[in-house]
Amino acid sequence: MKTIPTLRHDVSLRELNTFGIDARAHAFVSVKNIDDLEAIAADPQLSVLPRLILGGGSNVLLTKDFNGLVLHMVNKGCEIIGDDAGHTIVRAKAGENWHALVQWTLAQGLPGLENLSLIPGTVGAAPIQNIGAYGSEVAEFFHSLTLYDFLTGETRVLSREECHFGYRDSIFKHALRDRAVIIDVSFALPREWQPNLRYAELVTELGTRGVSNPTALDIADVVIAIRRRKLPDPAVIGNAGSFFKNPLVSRDQHALLVARYPQLVSYPQADGSVKLAAGWLIDQCGWKGRSIGAAGVHDRQALVLVNRGGAAGSDVLALATKIVNDVRARFDVSLETEPVIV
Ligand SMILES: Cc1cc2nc3c(=O)[nH]c(=O)nc-3n(C[C@H](O)[C@H](O)[C@H](O)COP(=O)(O)OP(=O)(O)OC[C@H]3O[C@@H](n4cnc5c(N)ncnc54)[C@H](O)[C@@H]3O)c2cc1C
């Protein structure tokens, strides 16, 4: 049986989740390669434990100690691996920092990912919820990924179709949750690049800077500036970004809501449904800036729940439940959480 040199027991996860929740892991391994995963699968004690795969911990809420094995992804590196029709293919290891990958592609003269600048976390987690921001989402640039499947003991490659990407969703939140470990992800970056200026705030900010023909680097700079202005830094106050997804409602329900609330913030979707701004709904229920104990709603972003210091994950979850109940009672709309609740 292979040894696993990085195996530790009773490990604090406080520094490994951006909420800064002080939960502990029964067992913990830093994963550098497939050999580590095969060694875990072959170990009679470790292979039967519940698993939690952890990248940067920026999209999890730890509500209790984890009585299982945490697999912390630490494999790093990015490389250009080839071309296909009109695209350059770039591959990055799962433990690589997402923003570092975006910056690296731009430095190579490979635009595409700039609208997704500064999203916290790792490359391996990006497909899990199909990360998105400022009019773009990772599925647009996704080529394929390599995963290790603990159920079958196989390493295999998944195409975009096989990942079932949706709005903040993929197969990894469902059938493959905690079973498939993403080892690396490949991206197809277009050689004929067009700026993505669908998001009005980007256009406004570029205008303020006097930029009329933006390069990908200009867009990255603007995205970074807006994000720094709008989102709380987890190094200062614990959070996991947006805590709720923007809910989708039917056109009929939207019409009823607009009749009662003319200020309703909403975005029509291509499939006829309408996306509502969850932050607006929460704000209308009076939650912005409020706290219950050390768990709070951010003062400027009602969509962001924060740990004001010493909150337990269960405190944050209790606050989230109250918000969900209030929004349902007032608007008859169900909010879904974005981070993975553990
Ligand atoms: C301030 C802030 C702003 C944010 N802004 C955005 C935003 O604009 N858009 C957006 O989409 N998200 C945003 N997020 C959420 C978060 O950054 C993303 O979801 C990110 O992809 C999570 O990466 P991570 O490595 O931290 O994942 P983790 O939190 O470690 O894990 C998240 C989930 O992915 C699974 N996972 C992680 N790595 C792997 C792997 N290698 N294989 C299999 N499963 C894995 C975990 O088990 C867990 O279920 C924000 C978060 C913060 C704190």
What is the full DSSP assignment across 122-180? BTTTTTTTT-EETTEEGGGGEEEEEEEETTTTEEEEEEHHHHT-BTTB-GGGTTTTTTE
Cα–Cα dist 245/86, whole Å: 33
State whether the beta carbon of 231 lies less than 6 angstroms from ligand 1: yes
Closest residue by CA, ligand 1 atom 53: 240
Q: Is any atom of ligand 1 closer than 6 Å to the C-beta of 55?
A: yes
Task: Give the per-residue pLDDT at 37.
Answer: 96
- Ligand 1, atom 43: nearest CA belongs to which residue? 181
Which helix or strand (DSSP H or E) is residue 66 part of?
strand 66-73
Indicate whether residue 238 lines ligand 1 (CB < 6 A). no
Confidence at residue 313, expressed as pLDDT on a 0 to 100 scale: 97
Q: What is the pLDDT along the chain (342 residues), one digit of tens a residue?
A: 677 879 999 999 999 999 999 999 999 999 999 999 999 999 999 999 999 999 999 999 999 999 999 999 999 999 999 998 899 999 999 999 999 999 999 999 999 999 999 999 999 999 999 999 999 999 999 999 999 999 999 999 999 999 999 989 999 999 999 899 999 999 999 999 999 999 999 999 999 999 999 999 999 999 999 999 999 999 999 999 999 999 999 999 999 999 999 999 999 998 999 999 999 999 999 999 999 999 999 999 999 999 999 999 999 999 999 999 999 999 999 999 999 999
Instruction: Confirm if 55 and 100 have CB atoms less than 8 A apart.
Output: no
Please choose from 14, 58, 306 the residue to mutate so as to test ligand 1's pocket, defined by most ligand atoms within 8 A of CB. Answer: 58
Q: Which strands sit side by side in the sheet containing 304-307, from one edge to the other?
A: 238-242, 304-307, 295-297, 291-292
Q: So what's the pLDDT on residue 102? A: 98
pLDDT at 84: 87
Positions annotated as catalytic residues are: 168, 242, 338
Looking at residue 239, its pLDDT comes to 98
Which ligand 1 atom minimizes the distance to the CA of 232?
Answer: 1
Give me the DSSP letters along 196-220.
---SHHHHHHHHHTT-SS--HHHHH
Answer yes or no: are the C-beta atoms of 119 and 133 closer than 8 Å: yes
Burial class (CB in 10 A: 0-12, 13-18, 19+), 128: buried
C-alpha 256 – ligand 1 centre gap (Å): 35
Does any ligand 1 atom lie closer than 6 A to the CB of residue 339?
no
What is the best residue among 13, 119, 199, 233 to mutate for testing ligand 1's pocket, by most ligand atoms within 8 Å of CB?
Answer: 119
Instruction: State residue 2's pLDDT score.
Output: 74
Q: Is 133 in the pocket of ligand 1 (CB under 6 A)?
A: yes
- Render the burial of 12-39: b for 16+ CB within 10 Å, e for the rest: ebeebbbbbbbbbbebbbbbbeeebbeb
Asked whether 145 lines ligand 1 (CB < 6 A), one says: no
